[in-house]
Structure 1
């Protein structure tokens, strides 16, 4: 029996210095990250043991480190780096969906945010 499921991490709010424009690099800005991690949750659904699942606290720490380790000009490149780090560190995760948003992009117009959503399968 398997219990394929998803671990959700929603609304991870980080401050960083990513972006194409010089003022983004100089001033920085907020980013909001949502992750959907596909993995087999059968063992943990029976055992109720953290050792039998993916620790989402560790995922948050990994994403935070990866996101601040270097400067990205594009959201797409940052999303790929996050997915690559997660898939490299956690073999039980078979698929990662990364949604990455800028709540206050430096462009004219009124909007809640701009962003990207990219899906990565193990082996891509």
Structure 2
């Protein structure tokens, strides 16, 4: 029986100073992110042991640290840094999907958010 699957973290809100415009770097803004981690969940589905899976609490701590460690001008660069950190820290993860949103973008018009979605796969 196969138990490969995904671990997901949805709507993680973080405040940071990312963006192309100077005022974004000076004032900061709220960001929302979704993460989807592809990994083999067979061992943990049998053992019921956290050591056999990817601890999503630890993933949240890692991405929070990486996301606030430096200023990114583009969401694409921030997404790559997050995926690189996850893939480096968690060998069980084979693919990372990152969705980043700016809920209040500094552009004219009425919208809920703007953002990007990128997928990164571990190179063998």
For normalisation by structure 2, the TM-score amounts to: 0.98
Partner in structure 1 of residue 31 of structure 2: 31
Partner in structure 1 of residue 72 of structure 2: 72
C-alpha separation in 2, matches of 1:110 and 1:36: 28
- 1:60 lines up with 2:60 in the alignment: yes
User: Gapped runs of 5+ residues in structure 2?
Assistant: none
C-alpha separation in 1, matches of 2:98 and 2:24: 21
Partner in structure 2 of residue 93 of structure 1: 93
Q: Secondary structure at the match of 1:88?
A: helix
Partner in structure 2 of residue 47 of structure 1: 47
User: Gapped runs of 5+ residues in structure 1?
Assistant: none
Cα RMSD of the aligned pairs, angstroms, is: 1.0
C-alpha separation in 2, matches of 1:11 and 1:23: 24
Deviation readout 1:66-105 (Å, 9 max, x if unpaired): 0000000000000000000000110000000000000000
Moved over 4 A (4+): none
Partner in structure 2 of residue 103 of structure 1: 103
C-alpha separation in 2, matches of 1:26 and 1:70: 13
Q: Once the 2 structures are TM-superposed, how far is the Cα of residue 2 of structure 1 from its aligned partner? A: 3.1
C-alpha separation in 2, matches of 1:13 and 1:46: 32
Q: Secondary structure at the match of 1:110?
A: coil
Q: Once the 2 structures are TM-superposed, how far is the Cα of residue 47 of structure 1 from its aligned partner? A: 1.1
